[in-house]
Structure 1
């Protein structure tokens, strides 16, 4: 498979999905659209892409579901703008909205992980007539407090400083490389099977802009540029009655289960879970098939409750 940039190739065994592209707000977005039935939209964060969900596709499509996995603009096989102004949280929500409206997605289950949380929830809470259910994993949707991990001077805040961030994450691809490696449980398997592909789709500093600019939207105080959007997300989420499943990695240190899953339970007391699986922040790498089956069981229960 060749990417939109024309340089990277993957075997069918590594990524056995047909690439599709749409123009969203002037950018070329890559996505996959497999199977038939009610759609399940799988949303990645930073610095991942749709490949993160490769273990989900077969279990979900085999259960009679349509699987849509977009690459956020700036990641994966999608176009990678080289201007920081192209990468705002509202912009990413608008890009996702454009894609799903073009595909006329309805009765969708939004699977939200990392930055796919604020992005996917932003879509869901603005398009309630198109959404059926939520699956929330290792993410957040409120302004403060940030995760303890994101408040540390080293390594997080230093990595996103004006000079250090572009050097480590831009020139040396530290987040897609060592960052992801440290955020899985089975590191040996990840290094052999997946890490080269995550690094390959971010081949040069220009293509890695989003890896060090997107985290600057994580609110650390009330002056943060994303503060108002996260206030809106928290306020709207409290009014949500979407059936919701929480799935968390036992070993997650970025959005730890005790703090963040508990907060989601406070906002969404009707939510199921959290169901714990083996996994650090990128729990899909360690427990992809298991999580997909949990999603199938969750949606089957919804179907049974509606019959």
Structure 2
């Protein structure tokens, strides 16, 4: 299947040379990339991005001797986009990820997670630790209180996701993909030229953009939030885990600032390496993809070395 058939714009094709693969998970058609050989590294995106976010990370990890799996979460990228809100729950996305991992029979998985890929990937890892080798967290959160002041403010966050305003701004006008990512990178001129078309192209109309304004409603902003118990469980499980871990953060991130969020992960996972700060706002992969790949590869090399030493 060619990239033209998949609907990728010309600006994205040269940057996305990876063969498309598809799996049926929980009734939905999920697109993923599966490149290389060795212990698997799964790269998880958030809202409103897709696997394209990791285009500069995949190649270096494959060349370092790893198998790299990059799924597009259901509702994003080249995966199927359900048009009913009930299809877009946090637990549903965790189940979708678990389904893909089981189908591919992945073990010794390194889970690299960003944004909503954090609650999704970390929940998978805590529920199936026997399949997981290590964790890498980037610009995300894993606790029940609000992620940050940005998400608690009436404007712009709560206003954008209100019942009428959300579908209008994020659905009809694609504000999150067309402006939200652009405002959350450092090199905006480069992003607009080489990357923005790829994010807009896979969300061509209001129906396909449903998840961009529905999924954020699962952020627990008060005691009655429907995902509060899930996040409380996740925080407890992470505090008890001994899985090797590394923290990478964008030093310019103003959505999940490093001083608050990276350091809170360090408290939650005191054995974790880092935080390693790289150039980047919230979507740090856009500015520092090769550096992130190098950090992950070196981290896994150290784990391999420890294994050899223990023999």
TM-score of Structure 1 vs Structure 2, range by shorter chain: over 0.9
Instruction: Report the 3-state secondary structure (helix = DSSP H, G, I; strand = E; otherwise coil) of the residue aligned with 1:274.
Output: strand
Residue of structure 2 in register with 1:269 after alignment: 270
Q: Per the alignment, do residues 65 and 7 of structure 1 end up closer, same or farther by CA in structure 2, a change over 3 Å counting?
A: closer
1:88 matched residue in structure 2 = 89
* Residues 40 and 108 in structure 2, CA contact (< 8 A), matched pair in contact too: yes
The residue that corresponds to 1:228 in the other structure is: 229
For residues 246-261 of structure 1, the aligned pairs below 5 Å read: 246-261=247-262
RMSD of Structure 2 on Structure 1 (CA): 1.1
Q: 1:219 — aligned with what?
A: 220
The structural deviation recorded for 1:2 is 4.0
1:140-179 paired onto structure 2 within 5 Å: 140-179=141-180
Offset at 1:217?
A: 0.4
Gaps of 5+ in 1: none
Q: Is 2:7–2:201's contact at 8 Å kept on the other side of the alignment?
A: no
Q: In structure 2, what is the equivalent of residue 59 of structure 1?
A: 60
Q: Which runs of 4+ in 1 moved over 6 A?
A: none
Contact 1:141–1:234 (Cα < 8 Å) also in 2: yes
Question: In 2, Cα distance between the equivalents of 1:3 and 1:237?
Answer: 42
Map of 1:279 onto structure 2: 280
TM-score, normalised to structure 1, is 0.98
* 1:186 and 2:187 aligned: yes
- Are residue 37 (structure 1) and residue 35 (structure 2) matched? no
Q: Distance in 1 between matches of 2:149 and 2:304?
A: 38
Aligned length: 306
Higher helix proportion (structure 1 or 2): 2
Aligned counterparts of 1:47 and 1:3: Cα–Cα separation in 2: 22
Between the aligned partners of 2:105 and 2:126, the Cα distance in structure 1 is 17
1:136 aligns with 2:101: no
Residue 103 (1) aligns with residue 136 (2): no
Q: What is the distance in 1 between the residues matched to 2:106 and 2:240? A: 22
Distance 2:192 2:13 in 1: 19
SS in 1 for 2:240: coil
Contact 1:3 1:77 in 2 (8 A): no
Q: Residues 232-286 of structure 1, C-alpha deviation per residue, up to 9 Å, x if partnerless? A: 1001111111110000000001111111111111111101100000000000000
